[in-house]
Amino acid sequence: CSTLGCDSTVYVIDSSRTGIENIIWNKAVEENLVFPNPAHDRINLQASFIDLLQEIRIYNLEGQLVKKALTPQMSVLGIPAGIYLVEVQLKDQRVHRQKLLIVD
């Protein structure tokens, strides 16, 4: 414990963005930016991030790029069933990564 108490919580204040944008971003990160998950034939970007999209990329578990798109909807047909990492790059340089399960 210190003079500040025994709580080890760290608080970070980011003044570079507006609070409303951060709330939307944090909610999207808690959920999935890309859906449905598991995916069968395509994935979609959440509507609130469509205008911010720069690129969507899918990587296999070895880190190899499997597919990429510049549109908010991407076909996953032809990608073997399995677990992948989907990466969403936004125009403001934020990057969100999430696991993606592709099923037959």
pLDDT score at 13? 46
pLDDT score at 12? 46
Distance, in Å, from the CA atom of 42 to the CA atom of 69, rounded to the nearest integer, reads: 12
- Respond yes or no on whether the N-terminal peptide bond of residue 80 is cis (omega within 30° of 0): no
pLDDT score at 16? 52
pLDDT score at 10? 46
To 5 degrees, how large is the angle CA 14–CA 51–CA 69? 105
Give the pLDDT band (50/70/90) at residue 57: very high
Distance, in Å, from the CA atom of 58 to the CA atom of 10, rounded to the nearest integer, reads: 33
pLDDT mean across residues, the chain: 82
Distance, in Å, from the CA atom of 11 to the CA atom of 52, rounded to the nearest integer, reads: 27
